[in-house]
A and B are shown apart, each in its own frame.
Chain A
Amino acid sequence: DAKTTQPTSMDCAEGRAANLPCNHSTISGNEYVYWYRQIHSQGPQYIIHGLKNNETNEMASLIITEDRKSSTLILPHATLRDTAVYYCIVRVEGGSEKLVFGKGMKLTVNP
């Protein structure tokens, strides 16, 4: 699976959009981009995933660049409850569905 690079941390004001970047310049054509988050001490939570088209669900939007070398997770109206470590993971769909976690990025939403 391709490696991802994320900033170590980011701050965002409550109520504003949080744009979380992820670089995956070595991504292969059959690899998906997955986002998970982990709120302090809890198990990780799936947010969204995509291949090449932009995706949106009730939690977030995922924007993948045309060359697929980077992506942005957008939380449209960040709340204090969105403070968490966010993991961007690239993997091939199918098979054992294993995930390889990096250190992730700490998002702090400030009042």
Chain B
Amino acid sequence: NAGVTQTPKFRILKIGQSMTLQCTQDMNHNYMYWYRQDPGMGLKLIYYSVGAGITDKGEVPNGYNVSRSTTEDFPLRLELAAPSQTSVYFCASTTASTRSGQYFGPGTRLTVL
């Protein structure tokens, strides 16, 4: 199993540009999450999904959108990038029956200039 994979690893955006952060898991997990982590801080939940076709807002959803058309994929969309969205973005997945907590991807480091 590859686990949770994220692309790209790094990206620099200009203010106002858009992009999609990709997240894929091959563990057949029904729950997936997007977090962001600013320097020196803990992770904050952006959006989450409990299954294909179901998404919900987390703590900091403004400026982001998500979709979940398949169990495997949970892309995060930034429509109009702002400097405040400079952060490291982590995707994670789990299932209610696992006793191994959430599995995290390696992260995407995004800079908005």
Contact = CB atoms under 8 A, between A and B. Distances in A.
A and B pair up: yes
Interface of A: 34, 36, 41-47, 49, 87, 94, 96-104
B96 interface: yes
Classify chain B's interface size. 20 to 34
Given A41-B107, A44-B90, A46-B100, A96 B42 contact: no
Contacts of B4: 43
The 6 closest A-B pairs by CB, nearest first: A46-B101, A43-B104, A101-B42, A101-B43, A43-B90, A44-B104
A104 B105 contact: no
B11 to A, nearest CB: 16
Given A94-B96, A97-B31, A98-B48, A104 B42 contact: yes
19 contacts: A36-B102, A43-B106, A44-B43, A44-B102, A44-B104, A46-B101, A46-B103, A49-B101, A94-B96, A96-B50, A97-B96, A98-B45, A98-B58, A99-B43, A99-B102, A100-B59, A101-B44, A103-B40, A103-B42
B86 interface: no
Instruction: Determine the main DSSP class of A at the interface with B.
Output: loop
B105 A96 contact: no
Nearest to B106: A43
A100 B45 contact: yes
Contacts of A41: 88, 107
Contacts of B102: 36, 44, 46, 97, 99
A99 B103 CA distance: 12
B2 interface: no
